[in-house]
Amino acid sequence: MSLRTAVPDSTDRTVLDGAAGPIELALDWPPEAPVGIIHIGHPHPLFGGTLDNKVVATIARTFAGLGWLAVRPNFRGVGASAGVHDEGTGETEDFLRIIDSLPRQVGLTHRLDPELPIAVAGFSFGSFVAARAAQSLSASGRSPRFNVLIGCAAGKWPMPTVAPETLVIHGELDQTIPLSAVLDWARPQDLPVVVVPGADHFFHRRLGVLKRLIRAHIQGMHAIDSGRQTV
């Protein structure tokens, strides 16, 4: 697989049936056939969080530029998605439904191999949904290839234990979710946390740093895999 970086070839908007009604999705397509599918959760719907959030879009563009299809759903009650906010329970249910059913959707079956690797990511409240989805997938023997949690919701919601290779990025000056709360959650797991100096919760003027960190993580994990294959 080539680890070039490019911009998404195109972004489509579509809807998928969910337990509470339609779920609106943005699909950021890579320039060539996808090498995997990443599902990305956005910030809290009751505080203006949508799939168009700039951190969520940065995650999507970074993965799409490395060959992945990036899927950004609007949570319940946001945009064209039906339902009402469900404190993470219904949102996780919808997240898993999208992961399972997207490759079988009319118009996508010829573009998506159902055996493509899966990754999950989330920002703020979306990190809680993504982590819960990853936990469910791992319990069923379908562990995501990558887990990326930014502005992690530790201390705000009951974040589960995550895989040891999870990329956790947090702003030093985050006033919404204090860094100390994230470290308290990560410490019992021996889970590293990448701290961006001077960054607030929304990573103002630090989106380029996020992109570089995510890209380096993906490249590093692929390098590790390649090394294992040659041993």
- Is residue 1 situated within a structural domain? no
What one-letter code names the amino acid at 90? G
- Is residue 4 situated within a structural domain? no
pLDDT over 80 (residue 230): no
Residue 1's pLDDT band (boundaries 50, 70, 90)? very low
Domain at 20, CATH number: 3.40.50.1820
Residue 150's pLDDT band (boundaries 50, 70, 90)? very high
pLDDT over 50 (residue 14): yes
pLDDT higher for 222 or 172?
Answer: 172
Residue 9's pLDDT is 66
C-beta contacts of 46-49 below 8 A and 24+ residues apart: 46/85, 49/75, 49/78, 49/124, 49/125, 49/126
- Is residue 5 situated within a structural domain? no
- Is residue 58 situated within a structural domain? yes
- Is residue 62 situated within a structural domain? yes
Residue 126's pLDDT band (boundaries 50, 70, 90)? very high
How far is residue 28 from each of residues 17, 41, 52, 141, measured CA to CA in Å? 19, 14, 12, 27
- What is the percent of the chain with per-residue pLDDT over 70, rounded to a whole number? 94
In sequence order, what are the residues at sequence separation of 6 or more whose Cβ sits closer than 8 angstroms to the Cβ of residue 26?
A: 11, 12, 13, 51, 52, 60, 71, 72
Residue 42, CA atoms < 13 Å, CB-side half-sphere: 28
Residue 8's pLDDT band (boundaries 50, 70, 90)? low
Boundaries of domain holding 187: 10-230
- Is residue 161 situated within a structural domain? yes
Residue 109's pLDDT band (boundaries 50, 70, 90)? confident
- Is residue 2 situated within a structural domain? no
pLDDT over 70 (residue 3): no
Residue 129's pLDDT band (boundaries 50, 70, 90)? very high
pLDDT one-digit tens code per residue, 55-71: 999 999 999 999 999 99
Residue 2's pLDDT is 36
pLDDT over 60 (residue 7): no
pLDDT over 70 (residue 160): yes
Return mean pLDDT, the chain. 93
The rounded distance, in Å, linking the Cα atoms of 183 and 110 is 43
pLDDT higher for 55 or 108?
Answer: 55
Domain count, the chain: 1
- Is residue 71 situated within a structural domain? yes
pLDDT one-digit tens code per residue, 210-225: 999 999 999 998 787 7
